[in-house]
Each structure stands twice: as structure tokens, then as C-alpha cells.
Structure 1
Amino acid sequence: MLYLINLGIITLWLIVVLCKRKLSTHAVVTAYVIGVGCADLFEGLFNLFLGLYKFPTQLRADPYYANELGVIFADFLILPFTLIVFVYYASRSNHPWRISLPFAIAHIVMELVYLQLGYMTYVHWHIWLSAFFYVAGFRFGAYLAPRIATYDPPVPYRVRLLCFSHMILMWTSAVFALPILKLYRFKPGLFQDFMADCRFAELVSGDILSVLCTIFVPMTPRKRKPLVFAAIALVGAAVAVFSDYMGWLVYYRWNLFLTILRYVVPVGIIMLYDRWEANYKARAIADAA
């Protein structure tokens, strides 16, 4: 319940900020995808793969599902929404780094509350480590905030494209695989923890496509980009077929065709995002001229 309360508060705060109409849609999307990318990188490493701390969210009886729901709440909702709110305040300040301290302190206090109430447990972790990452993370956010909000200078496009690609591919995984709809799961057998095993395979397979998009799309002329995206989608289909052939996929209410779509459809959404970014850049250049 505490996760839902936290999400509700930050969502209401985000709505208030967006109603002020001081952040462009581009800034909101950019902050969100960067927030997801950064949070998911560290959460996946420290929580799922190293098991340094866990989230007993009390939203599911199974501790593995409960922990993964905590990861989803933190990485895909609470922390990215917080970054959007933070960008609003930091980008309007002459000293954006000063805004980072109260945000970091608030999150440190909130984590202590989570620990006290049993919604978070440390295995090989300490509050000082969390404090370091909160301070460093919001300090880095203070550096990014003016670039996200004003596009002058912008965050490099390869960074934005990588974060968006990762976000859309991992959201697809979170919804259709474990732990939400549980229509299928990966089982490569690399981890004893079945959730970490599934999550690792999803991350690797999805980020192969993300990296390919990041490398080849920005260097390709606009007229030829559909061919590049089609080639990357074929790579995704090949990953699905290979995983199925190796017996790494467990289907519940799923099949190989849907697994192929699980990679191909997000690549199509990434293509639309690339076009949207190109149009936004063209308008920004025209407005500056």
C-alpha cells in the first residue's frame, strides 16, 4: 500500500507541474525515458542480479513477484515521475544543483520509512549507499535539467534514443511477461532466481535491439531509416525464434508468433519516436533561425 500512496502523491504533484505548461511534451518524454533508463540500470544490477536489497511490497504473496512489482513501481513510475518534477524546478533555477539536495534528502528519509515499515529490506546494503546514489543521481539530474527543458544544448540524441528504446522494450516485458500478466517467461537457466533469470534474458535481448537502434539509426539518411528499422525488427524476430528453439521460453497464454511481435512492435514504436524527434529538431532549428 505504501508504494501506491507514494505513486499517488508523485502523480498528483506531476499533474500540478504539467498543468503549469512550463515543460514541453518533448521535455517530459525525455525526462521520463532517461529516468527509466538510469533507474532500471542500477535497480536491475543491485536488486535482481546481486540481490543486495529487496522490495517486500506486500502486493503479492510470492516474494519474487512482490519484489519485481517494487522494481516496476520504482523504475518505471515513481522515480521517472520524480525526475520530471525535478526537471521543472531545477530548470527554472539559476543554481539547479541547489534543488538536488532537498530532493535527495526527501528520498533518503522516505527510504528510512520504507525500512521501518518493512516495505524494503537490506541484504548486503546500507542507507549510506542509498544516500550516495540519491545525492549523486539528483546532482546529475541538475546537470541534465536545463538541457532537457530547453534543448539548448540538448541531451545527445543517441542517449535519448537508447533510453527510449530500452524503456519501450522493457515496458513490453514488464506487462506481458512476469510479474503483471504472466503470459510467458524466459528460462535460460543462468540464475537460480527464476525472476532474475527471466529479467536478465529480457534485458539482454531487448537491449541488443536498443543498442542497434542507437548505433545505426542516427547515422542513416531519413529515407533509408525504414530499411534499418526493418532489419532491426528482423533481428528481434531472430532472437525470438532462437530463444524458442533453445527452449528458453515458457509459454502460459502465449506463443512464438506473439514473441516475435513482442520485439517487432516496439521497434515500430521506436521508429515513430525517431520521426517525432526529427520533426521536433527541425522545428527547434526553424524557431531559432
Structure 2
Amino acid sequence: MLYLVNLAAISLWMAILLRKRTLSLHSVVTAYVIGVGVADFFEGLFNVVLGLYQFPTHLRTDPAFDNELGVVFSDFLILPFVFIIFVHYAARTAHPWRVSIAFAALHVSLEWIYVKLGYLTYVHWSVLYSACFYVGGFRFGAYLAPRISSYRPPIPYRLRLLCFSHMILMWVSAVFALPLLKLYQFKPGLFHNIITDCRVAELVTGDILSVLCALFIPMTPHRLKPAVFAAIAGIGAFIAVFAYSQGWLIYYHWNLFLSVLRYVVPVGLIMLYDRWESAYQVALNGGKCK
């Protein structure tokens, strides 16, 4: 319940700030996808792979399901929404360091409450480690904030495209794969823990496409981009077929056609994002494409 209360409070705070229209939709999307990318990287390493802490949300009785819900709440909702709020304040102050410390202190305090109430369990972790990451993360976020809010200069497009691609591909896997909806499971046998095995395989296969998008799309002429996106989607389809043929992909309420769509549809959304961002950059440059 504490996760739901926190998400509701953060969402309300963010909605109030966004009504002031101090951030463009492009800035909001950029802040969100960077927030997801950074949070998911560290969460995947420290929580899923190393198991240094767990998220008992107390919303389900299955510990693996419960922890995965905590990851979704933290990585894809609460922390990215907080970063959007942070960008709003940090981009408009002459003292971004003070804003960074204030947000870091707030989150260290919230984490302490989570631990005391049993909504966060330390296995090989400490609140001091979290404090270091919060201070460093928000301080770096303060450097990015003016670039996110104004696009003058913007954060390098390859980084934005990489983060967006990761976000859209990982949202699909986080919801449909084991352990949430349990429609399918990756099982390459890299880890003994079936949840870790599935989540890492999803991360690797999804980020192969993310990296390909970030590498090749910015350098591709506009007229050739549909062909490049089609080729990247084709690689995703090949991954799905190959994984299934090797017995690394197990279906529960899923099939090979849906596995192909699991990669092709997100790549299509990445293509739409690329067109949207490209048009915005042209508008910012007075009709000139850089």
C-alpha cells in the first residue's frame, strides 16, 4: 500500500507542476526515459542480478511477483516521475546543488521509512549506499536539467534514443513476461534463479535492439530510416524465432507470432518517436535540419 500512496502523491505533485507548462512534452518524455534508463540499470544490477535488496510491496503473496511489482513501481513510475519534478526545479534555480541535496535527503528519509515499515529489505545493502547514489544521481541530474528543459543544447540524441528504446522495450517485458502476467518466460540457463534468468535475457535481447537504434538511426538519411527500422525489427523477430527454436523461450499464454510482435511493435513506436523528435529539432533550428 505504501508504494501506491507514494505513487499517488508523486503523480499529483507532477501533475500540478506540469499544469504550469514550464516543461514541454518533449522535455517531459526525455526526463522520463532517462529516469527509467538510469533506475532500471542500477535496479537490474543490484536487485535482480546481485539480490542486494528486495521490494516486498505486500500486494501479492508470491515473493518474486511482489519484488517485481516493486521494481515496476520504482523504476518505471516513481523514480522517473520524481526526476521530471526534479528537472522542473533544478532547471530554474541558480543553486542546483541545493535542489540536489534537498531531493537526495527526501529520498533517503523515504527509504528509511520503507525499511522500518518492511517495504524494503536489505540483504547486503545499507542506507548509506543509497544516500551516495541519491546524492551523486541528483547532482548529475542537475547538470542535465537545463539541457532537458530547454534543448539548448540538447542532450545528445543517441542517448535520448537509447533511453527511449530501452524504456519501450522493457515496459513490454516487465508486464507480459515472468513473473507478472506470466505469459512467457525466457530460460537461457544463465542463472539458477528463474526470475533473474528471464529478466536478464529480456534486458539483453531488448537492449541489443536499443543499441542498434542508437547507433544507426541518427546517422541514417531520413528517406532510408524506414528500411533501417525494418531491418532492426527483423533482427528482433530473428531473436524471437531463434530463442524459441533453442528452447530458451517458453510459452504459457503466448505464441511465436506474439513473440515477433513483442519486438516489432516497440521498434515501430521507436520509429514514431524518432520522427517526432526530428520534427521538433527542425522547429527549434528555425526549419533547418542539423
TM-score after normalising by structure 2: 0.98
Whether the 8 Å CA contact 1:55–1:121 is kept in 2: the answer is yes
Give the match for residue 233 of structure 1: 233
Offset at residue 175 of structure 1 (A):
1.7
Name the CA distance, whole Å, in 1 between partners of 2:262 and 2:48: 22
| 1:9 and 2:9 aligned | yes
Percent identical among aligned pairs is 67
Which residue number in structure 2 is paired with residue 174 of structure 1? 174
1:157 aligns with 2:157: yes
Aligned to 1:33: 33
> In 2, are the aligned partners of 1:182 and 1:252 still within 8 Å (CA)?
yes
Conservation of the 8 A alpha-carbon contact between 2:64 and 2:195: yes
User: What residue is the counterpart of 1:84 in the other structure?
Assistant: 84
C-alpha separation in 2, matches of 1:228 and 1:3:
40
Give the counterpart letter for 1:126 in structure 2.
S
Relative distance call for 1:82 and 1:280 in structure 2 (3 A) is same
Instruction: Give me the whole-angstrom Cα distance separating, in 1, the residues matched to 2:287 and 2:242.
Output: 48
Which residue pairs with 2:49 in the alignment? Answer: 49
The 3-state SS of whatever aligns with 1:210 is: helix
Q: Which amino acid counterpart does residue 224 of structure 2 have in structure 1? A: R
Q: What number of residue pairs does the alignment pair up?
A: 289
- Structure 2: distance between partners of 1:6 and 1:183: 29
> Could you tell me which amino acid in structure 1 is paired with residue 280 of structure 2?
Y
- TM-score, normalized by length of structure 1? 0.98
Contact 2:68–2:180 at 8 Å: present in 1 too? no
Task: Out of 228-237 and 52-61, give the one that drifted further.
Answer: 52-61
* Counterpart residue number, 1:273: 273
Alpha carbons of structure 1 residues 212 and 287: separation in structure 2 relative to 1, 3 Å: closer
Q: After superposition, where does 1:61-140 map in structure 2 within 5 Å?
A: 61-140=61-140
Return the alpha-carbon distance in structure 2 between the equivalents of residues 204 and 143 of structure 1: 29
What is the aligned partner in structure 1 of residue 222 from structure 2?
Answer: 222
Which is worse superposed, 58-67 or 156-165? 58-67
Distance, in Å, in 1 between the alignment partners of 2:265 and 2:282 is 26
* Cα deviation, residue 250, structure 1: 1.5
Shift of 1:287: 7.7
- Which 4+ stretches in 1 moved above 6 angstroms? none
Aligned residues of 1:87 and 1:141 also touching (Cα < 8 A): yes
Compute the RMSD of aligned alpha carbons. 1.2
Structure 1 alignment gaps of length 5 or more: none
Q: Distance in 2 between matches of 1:180 and 1:140?
A: 33
CA drift of 1:174 comes to: 1.2
Q: Find the aligned partners of 1:161 and 1:90 in 2 and give their Cα distance.
A: 23
